[in-house]
Structure 1
Amino acid sequence: MRKLIFLTGFIFCAMVAVAQESVTGLVTNSENEPLIGAHIINLNNIDHSAVTDETGKFILIKFQETDTLLIKYIGYQERLYIPKEMDALNIQLTREQRVLREVSVKAVPMGAEVFAMEKLKPLDIYLNPASKADPLVAVNTTASSTTKDENAAVSFRGATANQTAYFINGVPLKNPVKYTQLNNTGTLSIFNTDFLRDVTIFPGNPPLEYGQSTSGAIILEMADRFPKYQQHSLSLSLANLGYSFRNQLNNDSHVGVFTNFQFNELLQFTNPRGLEDINSFRSNDLGVLLVKHSAFGSFKFFQYGLMDSYNFAFNHPSYKGEFVQSSVRSISTLKWVYDLSDFTFSLIAGNSYNQNNFEFGNLDYDDENLSPYLAGHVIQEGTSHISKIGYSYWGRENHFDGQYPLYDFALSPENPSDELSYTASSNIHEVYGYHRHSFGNTALGGGVRVGMLKNAQNEISYQLQFSQQLNKKLKLKLAAGKYYQNRIAEETEADEFITSFQQSIDIEYDARKLAFTQSFYRNAFDHKNVIGSETSVNFRFSRKLQVNQNLSLLDNDNSFDWFSRSTIDWKFLPSWSFSAILQFFKGQRYQMITSSTYSEQLDVYSPIYENGSSHFRPYRNISVSISKLMQLGDRLSSVWFFSLNNALDFKNTRDLEYNFNYNYYSKNYLSRRGIYFGVVLNQIFEPK
């Protein structure tokens, strides 16, 4: 505790606030005409941004002499503005000098977008007090999330994480999580929020424009443009050193690069008790985004690579030693979009590759996966409707080579193992059609998707969606459908379809001080029938203080489950932010071992489980963070952050660890109390 108090005091003392005042300004065009509704964004204090009135004037409160402004107005070039003095600011914008037909930025319209539960912009993710600036962690704080193991992979509405579909630039991904995290569950995703355009969330009834989900879908789209100024960012924390670069090469070409190196030494030194089982971890990743807009359409290319390794102490009744895992991953996406009058054409190609190695006792194997993807879409969009048809091919190949234990209770290197080497593949062709029509405040949508496997087995998905804007504040959504997901069965190495039937009712209320969402749903899958209720309430007490409360209740085949998440975001001082998240949910299910039998041949004990199962005590976690925005120069700013995870050090049981003959056990816990702090430096260069 003394160390914690010292570090907290050190960080607080290192952050010094400067004097602030209000300033007025005027935004005009090159003809000195006032621009109404122009956005003046204070990059150093976003909460104190402004919008011009009917005379083009604005007022910025709590303005600092070193603040940097970003001015945006439709049809005009963005301008980065650094005031030279504190008098009235007169800012002039220049019209975009480009032929819209030749360089228009065209995204593939999403037909089911109006039926989505939520759409997140990068700023929404950064301002989420529990997101860790990670998009999937932000999704896991919503009422629809029923994730129980602190994993960034999202479980929606009582389903498993592998039933959720993830798409990046239209390309499906099966494993979007980094596994080099401290609790071996993958607490961060592979996505860099700086490079995202938006994240669209469907916790249920996923859009058949994408498919391959029996639960929900998360659609991530990379940015189409970057601002006209050059930005360099450097992040340094107890476990990470990162760098990112974004720049507009010209009016129609954009480039972005990010890289991160993760390590364990400093974090373990600062948090010795909670990380005593970690021997080492390393992670290196690199991402490149290239965007080009031309008369021949918009091209977007994204390449991501990750290498990581993780070594931790693992105790099993039959053997205690080091569990070593390593992986290499590569993700490539290429997207072309062409706009022709009311029609939009797009082609999407991608490939996902990963190779994993696992070693422990008599376990030693390599697992290699390759997933090429190709899709084409034709979209016709009118003032009140959108129609989409498309085709996709998704190939998957899995190669397994190595040895694995012959008995799951005998893991010593001397215990028998079995050699296994096989290659399994899956190739699915899909065609779909989707249509949505709007009638005033009412929208009606529906779609069909057909999947065809190489063994001539076919499956069909279908859905109907309804949305009604009852008044300015109240909205009703209804949806129902059947959905499938194609998998390679591990036992038979053959293709199989998993299906689900879903129905949902969503009621949304949004007022100035209060936002409220109430959902009821049913999801029948894998011989299970999940019925649930989700409630989300957002209290906007002021621009400085917001509180969000999520509560999820569900009945999973007569097994009652519940989740409660509360988040607090409080800007208690200028450029200071405090956030907290309080999470509580029903503990994990487990099965006790009551006795064991001794095997003379193997010289180990085998467990005997009790009938039925029990639950660990409820999960509890209260985490807080504090951040401070500090200007270090005309074009250099910094964000300092400090977080305290599991502040009250609740012991949330992950599993039970037994001794050699199973007559004694101890508990393994999820994340214990831990401190984390660091700084992000942002350097910008305005074009000449």
Structure 2
Amino acid sequence: MKKLFISLITVFTLAKIVNAQEISGTVVDERNLPIFAANVYFKSNPHNGAISDLNGYFSIPYTYDNDTLIITFIGYQNKRIPAVELEEDSKNIITLNADPVLLDEVVIAGTTPISEQFSTEKLSSLDIYMNPISQADPLKAIINMPASTNSDESANPSLRGSSSDRSRVIYNGVPIYRPVRASSLNNIGFFSIFNPEMIDVQTVYPSNPPLITGNASGGIIDISTIKKISKNTYQLSAGIGNIGFSMGQKLQGKSTFIQIYGNWQNSYLLKKINTKSLPDMKSYDTKDVGINFRYTLNDKMYFNSYNYFMSENYNGTSAMLAYQGNLKSNGLRYFSVNNFVIFFKKGMFKINHGYNYEKKEVLFGNNILNSKDYSHYASIDYKTDITKK
């Protein structure tokens, strides 16, 4: 009989311990409304807590009687309850009191000079090369400017918090759409299609762009090619994944010249040397050539033509939503920018023409995306200083 009595006491004690393994309750505010996502944890084990659900309900493993249950939530005073005061069921109604924070009044007054409202940034080719984050890329050189708000690795410019399609790149007076290469499936291009060797001045208008280059609520990047070369130049570069060259040749004085550059990027050596790196990239091959020709007829008249051709192929692995598979893409692009300029005594007359051809094919899973784009652009500008009599 004595053994039976001891056994019954043991069973009831174990049952009480088992029931006490979980403590549950509801967290409410002073109006008895449930508080969602309140933090609930024991002081001895803060990393094994719980959060209240939409109804304020929570359930948390019990520790020991000398512990303390802590409940916290932003905007409310922290609550501490000794573990021995907790009920073993969901009758624990825990009320949090509001903890308002009063802020002193802050008055900000400022006067901005009118000139700063129309502020611009100008970069030369040397500025682009010397920029530590530009990677000798004209469009990437503006990333560290205060007005730049790029949030990805794209060379597409983003100004004043706007998306990249609201900023416009102007090359010798002609807008260049999609001024990037090495595009991925989401159309993010990691490099621009411009060579800094051919750039005279790159002007960034983060706000209030010139009227003649409208259709850009985010801003304007206005690029002008060089107007003269002082000597003939020849350059050759080579690396693990690329070979490039550039040359500048005077034809008649300093103001009539031709510039040519070319690049070939291929992944063969890179993948051979780094066999375990870049597992998602199987191969890539990119070729691009640019030619800038400037012919000066006299001191008041010149013709400039810039032509660019690019071919790129990529083979790798990509993922979208719940699917991961092979991604193949290949593309061709050609564009031409031509300008004829005449200077008069009281102004300047300019004719601009641009042509763009772009073809791209992307194969991803059972999706085949084909796109072709043909576009022409033409404009006539006349500039004069109306303040002069």
Instruction: State the TM-score, normalized to the length of structure 2.
Output: 0.66
Q: RCO higher in 1 or 2 (8 Å CA, sep ≥ 6)?
A: 1
The residue number in structure 2 matching 1:305 is 309
Considering only CA atoms, is the larger Rg found in Structure 1 or Structure 2? 2
Structure 2 residue runs of 5 or longer lacking an equivalent are: 1-114
Evaluate the alpha carbon distance shift between residue 270 and residue 154 of structure 1 in structure 2; reply closer, same or farther with a 3 A threshold: farther
The residue number in structure 2 matching 1:188 is 191
The residue number in structure 2 matching 1:231 is 233
Q: Measure, in 2, the Cα distance between the counterparts of 1:160 and 1:345.
A: 33
Cα drift, residue 319 of structure 1: 4.4
Evaluate the alpha carbon distance shift between residue 315 and residue 349 of structure 1 in structure 2; reply closer, same or farther with a 3 A threshold: closer
1:344 aligns with 2:348: yes
Q: Measure, in 2, the Cα distance between the counterparts of 1:230 and 1:266.
A: 32
Q: Measure, in 1, the Cα distance between the counterparts of 2:376 and 2:310.
A: 18
Q: Measure, in 1, the Cα distance between the counterparts of 2:169 and 2:195.
A: 15
Q: Measure, in 1, the Cα distance between the counterparts of 2:210 and 2:376.
A: 21
Is residue 118–residue 208 contact of structure 2 (8 Å, CA) maintained in 1? no
The residue number in structure 1 matching 2:7 is none
- 224, 246, 249: which one aligns with 1:247: 249
Q: Measure, in 2, the Cα distance between the counterparts of 1:293 and 1:186.
A: 35
Structure 1 residue runs of 5 or longer lacking an equivalent are: 1-111, 387-688
The CA deviation string for residues 286-326 of structure 1, in whole angstroms up to 9 with x for no partner, is 11111011136111001001110111112456644211111
The residue number in structure 1 matching 2:383 is 379
Is residue 308–residue 326 contact of structure 1 (8 Å, CA) maintained in 2? yes
The residue number in structure 1 matching 2:360 is 356
Q: Measure, in 1, the Cα distance between the counterparts of 2:376 and 2:187.
A: 28
1:265 aligns with 2:272: no
Q: SS state of the match for residue 150, structure 1?
A: coil
What letter is aligned with 2:161?
Answer: G
The CA deviation string for residues 574-605 of structure 1, in whole angstroms up to 9 with x for no partner, is xxxxxxxxxxxxxxxxxxxxxxxxxxxxxxxx
Evaluate the alpha carbon distance shift between residue 215 and residue 183 of structure 1 in structure 2; reply closer, same or farther with a 3 A threshold: closer
Instruction: State the TM-score, normalized to the length of structure 1.
Output: 0.38
Is residue 224–residue 300 contact of structure 1 (8 Å, CA) maintained in 2? no
Evaluate the alpha carbon distance shift between residue 323 and residue 181 of structure 1 in structure 2; reply closer, same or farther with a 3 A threshold: closer
Q: Measure, in 2, the Cα distance between the counterparts of 1:348 and 1:323.
A: 39
Q: Measure, in 2, the Cα distance between the counterparts of 1:115 and 1:378.
A: 22
Q: Measure, in 1, the Cα distance between the counterparts of 2:196 and 2:335.
A: 17
The residue number in structure 1 matching 2:334 is 330
Q: SS state of the match for residue 308, structure 1?
A: strand
Evaluate the alpha carbon distance shift between residue 374 and residue 184 of structure 1 in structure 2; reply closer, same or farther with a 3 A threshold: closer
The residue number in structure 2 matching 1:145 is 148
1:221 aligns with 2:224: yes
What letter is aligned with 2:130?
Answer: L
Task: Note the 1:149-168 alignment, pairs <5 A.
Answer: 149-168=152-171
Q: Measure, in 2, the Cα distance between the counterparts of 1:368 and 1:183.
A: 17
Q: SS state of the match for residue 212, structure 2?
A: coil
Q: Measure, in 1, the Cα distance between the counterparts of 2:215 and 2:264.
A: 33
Q: Measure, in 1, the Cα distance between the counterparts of 2:350 and 2:117.
A: 21
* Greater fraction helix: 2
Q: SS state of the match for residue 165, structure 2?
A: helix
Q: Measure, in 1, the Cα distance between the counterparts of 2:282 and 2:192.
A: 22
The CA deviation string for residues 324-376 of structure 1, in whole angstroms up to 9 with x for no partner, is 11111111011011011021111001111111111112211211111200000
Cα drift, residue 183 of structure 1: 11
Q: Measure, in 1, the Cα distance between the counterparts of 2:356 and 2:320.
A: 34
What letter is aligned with 1:340?
Answer: F
Q: Measure, in 1, the Cα distance between the counterparts of 2:185 and 2:209.
A: 32
1:286 aligns with 2:289: yes
Evaluate the alpha carbon distance shift between residue 345 and residue 272 of structure 1 in structure 2; reply closer, same or farther with a 3 A threshold: same
1:208 aligns with 2:219: no
Q: How many residues align?
A: 273
Q: SS state of the match for residue 154, structure 1?
A: coil
Q: Measure, in 2, the Cα distance between the counterparts of 1:313 and 1:285.
A: 24
The residue number in structure 2 matching 1:275 is 278
Is residue 333–residue 350 contact of structure 1 (8 Å, CA) maintained in 2? yes
Q: SS state of the match for residue 189, structure 2?
A: coil
Evaluate the alpha carbon distance shift between residue 139 and residue 316 of structure 1 in structure 2; reply closer, same or farther with a 3 A threshold: closer
Is residue 180–residue 309 contact of structure 1 (8 Å, CA) maintained in 2? no
What letter is aligned with 1:366?
Answer: N
Q: Measure, in 1, the Cα distance between the counterparts of 2:184 and 2:258.
A: 29
Cα drift, residue 116 of structure 1: 4.0
Cα drift, residue 115 of structure 1: 3.5
Q: SS state of the match for residue 124, structure 1?
A: helix
What letter is aligned with 1:369?
Answer: D
Evaluate the alpha carbon distance shift between residue 221 and residue 385 of structure 1 in structure 2; reply closer, same or farther with a 3 A threshold: farther
* Moved >6 Å (runs of 4+): 181-184
Q: SS state of the match for residue 243, structure 2?
A: strand
Q: Measure, in 1, the Cα distance between the counterparts of 2:184 and 2:232.
A: 32
Q: Measure, in 1, the Cα distance between the counterparts of 2:153 and 2:164.
A: 12
User: Once superposed, what is the RMSD of the aligned Cα atoms?
Assistant: 2.5
The residue number in structure 1 matching 2:135 is 132
Cα drift, residue 182 of structure 1: 12
Evaluate the alpha carbon distance shift between residue 302 and residue 123 of structure 1 in structure 2; reply closer, same or farther with a 3 A threshold: same
Cα drift, residue 181 of structure 1: 7.8
Evaluate the alpha carbon distance shift between residue 116 and residue 298 of structure 1 in structure 2; reply closer, same or farther with a 3 A threshold: farther
Q: Measure, in 1, the Cα distance between the counterparts of 2:383 and 2:324.
A: 58
* Greater fraction strand: 1
What letter is aligned with 1:311?
Answer: N
Once the two structures are aligned, what percentage of the paired residues are identical?
Answer: 30
Is residue 182–residue 275 contact of structure 1 (8 Å, CA) maintained in 2? no
The residue number in structure 2 matching 1:169 is 172
